[in-house]
Structure 1
Amino acid sequence: MLHLLVGITRRGPAVLASGCAIGLLLPSSAEAARPLLPMMVFIFVLGTLLRIDNREVVIAAKNLKISVIFPLLMVVACPYLFGMGAYAISGNQELSLAIAVAVAAPPASGNVAVARMLGLDPSMSLVVVLCSMVLIPVTAPAVLHVFGNGLLLLIDPWELAARLALLIGGAEGVAILIRHFSHDIVARHGLAIDGIVVLALFIFSIGTMAGLQSTILEKPVGVAAMIAVAYGVNFALQLMFGGLYPGSLMSKFTMALNGGNRNVGLLWSALGVTVSPTMALYFACCQLPIHTMPKILQFFLPKIERCCKTRGGMRVSEPGGQRD
């Protein structure tokens, strides 16, 4: 079993991408996995916290670019930038609202595990995720108020804050207990823990495809266009944050991953049944780049790294474990 989990860890990006394919091709599997989504979120957050080096997290948190500046850019500036841009291009209020809300979401919790799979910086990713989540109960309702005027949508900031506190606090509490009573097991079987995280992300990716196949069959052109928009927004965010972060190549890719892959499901669930079909379709399409981008990055990262080493114009990683 341990060997199986280690093998899953090493093939993590491919496993995540295959989850989307399975969910689309076998809609019954997506419907079966959908009720498990909250549990899967808890499992991969817990597994991530078990594998984090606290010393590295403290170092990352002391860097204001990681803990303050870039989280503010992600969940405060970008939703307005992309929402207004979408409205200027399309003139569609529901689509611009969907994009603004999706970009207002914090980075996905699974980004930390994905960062480790890709050889990026999981501690840096965790700090960005947590610091962004702290802002969401204030920033997300404001974005909804600006772009959803007249659409009768509401996010309760207190309910959202309580949900985030329960998720992070509960997972941290369990992680502390496991570390205390089973520290040696955690240290010995880190790759197996990563395998459990990948499995949770795999089931999560299957569940997020629920209902998408039938929508594709009903409106193939409209869905294809929405998928293209979702990939375009994700890619634009990754380029923006990777380009803006003034660090090494690996730090840039870590920030890019967090800038593009957002926890759209968090705000989707907070809005509940009040979302329009257009918004629900966009939120569902956002799951495709979130779960396939790690495989795309895994393919391109070694090539970009070799290119940078050949040219010698950019550090691939930070010297001495420090972050710019």
Structure 2
Amino acid sequence: MPLLNTSLTLLAWLGRQGTRAVAALVVIGIAVPPLGALLKPLVTETIFVLLCLAFMRVDLGAFRAHLRRPAVVLAAGVWTGMLIPLLGGLLGIATGLPERAPDLFLALMLQCIASPIMAAPAFASLIGLDAALVLATLIASTALIPLTAPLFTALFLGPGLTLAPLDLGLKLGVILAGSAGVGLLARQLFGLATIERHKETINGCNIIFLFIFVAAIMENIAAQTLAAPLATVGLTVLGFVIYGVILLGSVLLFWRAGRERALALGFLCSQRNMGLMLAATGGALPETTWLYFALAQFPIYLGPYLLQPLVRRLLVDGSEDRDATERNHHSSSRRKT
């Protein structure tokens, strides 16, 4: 029992570290390559557990509230699930990427096809964004993946992916349905009150499993950087650029829906779940694709830490603008009376 209590205390402490712990995962994963080699066979199982934990914490009440006014959720689901992969594929073809760098094109297409990561609502709440909106849009876009992934895989990748499009859709459906079933069953068994009471411990578990995933895919980063520093730096910059383009483009697209909603949806759309695609393909991907997937984790896991001050500033400015508008409105009303 003392050992169990100590473990739970450490997990709760880890869960309280928030964005700092998430950012530290990347550094540790690169610094200790042997851990990556040891943990690499566990990638698929780890992603499944992370999905189970995410579904276990689904706030069904908040989800239903957003579904009562579904216009923004549906628009964001179509944007992230259909238009982003369509635009990404067309841009890749226009630049000749499938012929010049087929393995990189495969990586970029799988990134575009992927739904947002299941940890996005947790990350959103850590930096002060609307986690309920993020969650509702996440579920809507994730539900499309077994249908859209085979479509865009067949349309843009064809023989570039060893896994048949329909097999990819089936595997994605099984992973998502299975994790949803386990997560919601656990929620039913333990109850929302118990889950909320132990949320810091669950956050700590999330961070542990995120570390397994990050360490596994970053196993060769240090060696690759030494062997081909320019290529590694170039792929890292590309990962940040694509992250930023999707983030900024999504924010601008939904800006008229309100500043808070636009920031939440932009953040969600930029967090692409490449791990889910790894799990669905069983990791059977070319070396360049694996390397890009690993390097593209930098903006995903550093993003919450880097964006937190900016998001808080924008939300505070937005609140001040609304307060000033309301004060002017009340003053005008009093003068009229």
The alpha-carbon distance between structure 1 residues 136 and 221, as it changes in their structure 2 partners (threshold 3 A), is: same
Give the counterpart of 2:176 among 157, 164, 185: 164
Give the counterpart of 1:299 among 309, 325, 329: 309
- The answer on 1:28 being equivalent to 2:34 is yes
The aligned counterpart of 1:320 is: none
CA positional deviation for 1:310: 4.8
- The answer on 1:268 being equivalent to 2:278 is yes
- The answer on 1:198 being equivalent to 2:207 is yes
Give the counterpart of 1:236 among 245, 255, 262: 245
Moved more, 92-101 or 279-288: 92-101
The aligned counterpart of 1:108 is: 117
The aligned counterpart of 1:252 is: 262
Q: Is the 8 A contact 1:50 1:175 kept in 2?
A: yes
Distance in 1 of aligned mates of 2:31 and 2:309: 24
Q: Is the 8 A contact 1:30 1:210 kept in 2?
A: yes
CA positional deviation for 1:28: 1.3
Give the counterpart of 1:289 among 287, 299, 314: 299
Q: Does the residue aligned with 1:148 lie in a helix, a strand or coil? A: helix
CA positional deviation for 1:33: 3.2
- The answer on 1:71 being equivalent to 2:53 is no
Q: Give the partner amino acid of 2:87.
A: L
User: What RMSD, in angstroms, separates the aligned Cα atoms of the two structures?
Assistant: 2.6
Q: Show structure 1 runs of 5+ residues with no match.
A: 316-324
The aligned counterpart of 2:188 is: 176
Distance in 1 of aligned mates of 2:204 and 2:259: 26
Distance in 2 of aligned mates of 1:48 and 1:137: 19
Distance in 1 of aligned mates of 2:264 and 2:232: 29
> Based on CA coordinates, which of the two structures has the bigger radius of gyration?
2
- The answer on 1:133 being equivalent to 2:133 is no
TM-score normalized with structure 1 length? 0.85
For residues 246-294 of structure 1, the C-alpha deviation after alignment (integer angstroms, 9 at most, x for no partner) is 4343322221121000111211332345533332222222222111111
CA positional deviation for 1:313: 9.6
CA positional deviation for 1:27: 0.6
Q: Give the partner amino acid of 1:289.
A: P
CA positional deviation for 1:164: 1.8
CA positional deviation for 1:120: 1.7
Q: Is the 8 A contact 2:19 2:304 kept in 1?
A: yes
TM-score normalized with structure 2 length? 0.82
Distance in 2 of aligned mates of 1:74 and 1:4: 37
The alpha-carbon distance between structure 1 residues 150 and 312, as it changes in their structure 2 partners (threshold 3 A), is: same
The aligned counterpart of 1:215 is: 224
CA positional deviation for 1:171: 1.7
Q: Show structure 2 runs of 5+ residues with no match.
A: 1-5, 326-337
Alignment of 1:27-66 (within 5 A): 27-66=33-72
Q: Give the partner amino acid of 1:22.
A: I
The aligned counterpart of 2:329 is: none
The aligned counterpart of 2:25 is: 19
Report sequence identity in percent.
24
